[in-house]
């Protein structure tokens, strides 16, 4: 007997709706490779409806005093905690993620991030007012930009939704957000949570809307005449397409794209500690993280010892079922991603050596073994391009100059780390590494108060922090004559 698939729906103006034309797409649990739900495949009519709802809700939401928007966001954070087990279950099914890790590593920071932006709602500051021309006073108004079209990725669909809606709503914008077509379940649940809070506190539920769909849905959202801003977390290709589409009517664009983080390990490093931390930062979430520690550069004097230790750590790292509390990560998100990761391994040059892993794991689902590849050169495909899987590459460098050259020698510039006991060297490296974040003797911690975002083909704009909040505002100069 065939099990009936769960039916996910769009959330528009406070109502759960099917796509106007009735089209759907199947949603697959990557831990099993089997469909568990259907979701709307939204088209132009659905985008029109969601944008109209957000546009109608914007004036009242914009005009609320910040304390009222803060109250809404704090209530949303409370509701996330109250319904945490539902969110965990949805995200685990969405992504095949281990339940214990979603509970410990995703729910607490998401709640904290919403509360941070609740506080930011009351910090809409401008620079000082004053007289800069005799007889006139100038003031600065910081205002919301308007309706925001947001596209979230499949690697952290729930958390990335928070990174987008929380600053946007805090600043007084309204939102239409699209989750990835492979991971819509948790975002639909978030719509239910936010809608109930808006309803309880007497605000229009059109403030927050969710559209399920594919790349075409996202394109229609970005090209729509209503949004003043388009925000996407995704691939470089997708970011370029969004920037091009948004340029046609000069929408503001916020892009958080790919990464290829260098992890520079000098000979004075505590190898055991570095390997322990780097392996976790490289394999967590199956390496499906733009900041993952997957491109290691090791000083040649400790290269062999480091590689042996890293290969041993990989062999002891476990992937597997969502209810196994001993696993570090679950499956790759979808069949295409599994194919991509396999392709990188299959195309390795003859001089490369697989030190650990390198193969699919299990008979069902999209699991891939923790992998270490050594013997690589700077221009190798796997060094230059984002694998987005549980694969750590290792290169050997001779000195600090070469380490910087190779670290910066990719098209991405999101995150990096330096491992050394030499404070002066750490400071020099933090200056010369061309990345939006430089960690020293650690890799991957994030806090709500500090910005996340990169340079070059990693995009522009910041998530988290006051800088991320500022991205969802605009500046207006008001000048008045003192003559009355």
Which residues have a catalytic role annotated?
256, 290
Written as six digits, the tokens of 347 are 């195309």
Question: Dihedral (C-alpha) 165, 170, 175, 181: value to the nearest 10 degrees?
Answer: 0
Please state, in angstroms and rounded to a whole number, the distance separating the CA atoms of residues 203 and 73: 12
The residue among 236, 253, 286, 285 whose CA lies nearest residue 410 is 236
Written as six digits, the tokens of 371 are 């992998």
Output the DSSP codes for 379-403: TSHHHHS---SSEEEEEEESSHHHH
CA 383, 386, 391, 392 torsion: positive or negative? positive
Please state, in angstroms and rounded to a whole number, the distance separating the CA atoms of residues 172 and 175: 10
The residue among 11, 6, 42 whose CA lies nearest residue 24 is 42
3-state secondary structure of 28: strand
Please state, in angstroms and rounded to a whole number, the distance separating the CA atoms of residues 40 and 8: 7
Written as six digits, the tokens of 442 are 């650690």
CA 411, 156, 469, 56 torsion: positive or negative? positive
Task: Quickly count: other Cβ atoms within 10 Å of residue 280's Cβ.
Answer: 16
Output the DSSP codes for 452-476: B--EETTEES-BSHHHHHHTTEEEE
The residue among 157, 166, 220, 167 whose CA lies nearest residue 189 is 157
Question: Dihedral (C-alpha) 89, 92, 98, 102: value to the nearest 10 degrees?
Answer: -70
Q: Match 């042996």 to its residue by tokens.
A: 308
Task: Quickly count: other Cβ atoms within 10 Å of residue 183's Cβ.
Answer: 28
Q: Are strands 473-481 and 367-368 parallel, antiparallel or unpaired?
A: unpaired
Please state, in angstroms and rounded to a whole number, the distance separating the CA atoms of residues 273 and 441: 9
Written as six digits, the tokens of 385 are 């391009």
Q: Are strands 34-40 and 6-7 parallel, antiparallel or unpaired?
A: parallel
Cβ proximity of 147 and 172 under 8 Å = no
Please state, in angstroms and rounded to a whole number, the distance separating the CA atoms of residues 281 and 292: 6
* Size (the chain), residues: 484
H or E segment at 169?
helix 157-170
């Amino acid at each position: 007997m065939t099990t009936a698939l769960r039916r996910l729906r769009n959330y528009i103006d406070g109502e759960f709706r099917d796509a106007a034309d009735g089209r759907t797409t199947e949603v697959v649990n990557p831990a099993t490779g089997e469909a568990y739900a259907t979701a709307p495949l939204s088209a132009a009519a659905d985008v029109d409806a969601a944008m109209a709802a957000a546009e109608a809700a914007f004036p009242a939401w914009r005009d609320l005093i910040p304390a009222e928007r803060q109250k809404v966001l704090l209530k949303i954070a409370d509701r996330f905690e109250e319904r945490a087990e539902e969110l965990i279950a949805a995200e685990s099914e969405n992504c095949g993620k281990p339940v214990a890790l979603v509970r410990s590593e995703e729910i607490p920071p998401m709640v904290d991030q919403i509360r941070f932006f609740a506080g930011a709602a009351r910090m809409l500051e401008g620079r000082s007012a004053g007289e800069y021309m005799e007889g006139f006073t100038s003031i600065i108004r910081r205002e919301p930009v308007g309706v925001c079209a947001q596209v979230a990725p499949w690697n952290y669909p729930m958390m990335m939704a928070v990174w987008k809606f929380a600053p946007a709503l805090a600043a007084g914008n309204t939102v239409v957000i699209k989750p990835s077509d492979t991971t819509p379940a948790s975002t639909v649940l978030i719509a239910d949570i936010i809608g109930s809070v808006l309803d309880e506190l007497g605000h229009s539920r059109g403030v927050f809307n969710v559209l399920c769909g594919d790349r075409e849905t996202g394109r229609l959202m970005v090209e729509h005449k209503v949004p003043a801003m388009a925000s996407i977390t995704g691939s470089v290709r997708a970011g370029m397409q969004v920037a091009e589409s948004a340029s046609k009517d000069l929408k503001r664009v916020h892009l958080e794209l790919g990464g290829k983080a260098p992890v520079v390990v000098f000979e004075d490093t505590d190898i055991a500690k570095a390997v322990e931390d780097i392996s976790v930062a490289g394999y967590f979430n199956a390496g499906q993280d733009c900041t993952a520690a997957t491109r290691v550069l090791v000083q040649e004097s400790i290269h062999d010892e480091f590689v042996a230790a890293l290969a041993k750590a990989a062999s002891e790292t476990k992937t597997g079922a969502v209810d196994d509390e001993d696993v570090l990560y679950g499956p790759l998100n979808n069949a295409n991603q599994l194919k991509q990761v396999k392709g990188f391994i299959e195309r390795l040059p003859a001089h490369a050596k697989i030190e650990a892993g390198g193969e699919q794991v299990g008979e069902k689902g999209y699991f891939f073994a923790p992998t270490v590849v050594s013997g690589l050169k700077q221009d190798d495909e796997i060094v230059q391009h984002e694998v987005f899987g549980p694969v750590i590459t290792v290169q050997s460098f001779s000195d600090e100059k070469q380490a910087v050259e190779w670290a910066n020698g990719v098209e991405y510039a999101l995150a990096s780390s330096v491992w050394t006991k030499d404070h002066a060297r750490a400071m020099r490296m933090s200056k010369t590494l061309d990345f939006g974040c430089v960690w020293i003797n650690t890799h991957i911690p994030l806090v709500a108060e500090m910005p996340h975002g990169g340079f070059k083909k990693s995009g522009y704009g910041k998530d988290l922090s006051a800088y991320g909040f500022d991205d969802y505002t605009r500046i207006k100069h008001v000048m008045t004559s003192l003559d009355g």
